[in-house]
Amino acid sequence: MVHRTSEGASAVIGQDAIPMLLLPYIYRWDRQGRKAQPCSVLARGTMNSCLVRFADGYRMVTSRNAIRKNREGLHG
C-alpha cells in the first residue's frame, strides 16, 4: 500500500501497518495488554460487540463499551 505524505512524497506502508489517522478509537480495557492503544472498528456485531484492529494488525472481538473516540487523534 502506498501512502501519500503532506509533502507529496510517497511512503510504502506494510500490509499490517495502519496510519494513525485511520485509528479513530482508543481501547479502554486492560485486556491482552492493549489498554490505551489506538484502534479502528472493522465490524459491529450483535450484543454490543465489535471487531477492532490495532496499529500492529492484531484483531480482536470485544465489547463496544471497551472503546472510546480518540480525541487526541482528531485534534492533534
Per-residue pLDDT band at 13 (split at 50, 70, 90):
very low
What CATH number does the domain containing 31 carry? 2.30.30.140
Residue 57 lies in a domain: yes
Host domain of residue 33: 18-75
User: Is the residue at 58 inside a domain?
Assistant: yes
pLDDT of residue 19: 60
Grid cell for residue 38: 489506538
User: How many domains are contained in the chain?
Assistant: 1
How far apart, in whole angstroms, are the C-alpha atoms of residue 61 and residue 41? 10
Indicate whether 6 belongs to any domain. Answer: no
Indicate if the pLDDT at residue 16 is higher than 90: no
Is 40 within a domain? yes
Q: Across the beta sheet with 49-54, what order do the strands follow? A: 59-63, 49-54, 38-44, 25-27, 67-69
Tens of pLDDT, residue by residue over 20-63, are 568 999 999 999 999 999 999 999 999 999 999 999 999 999 99
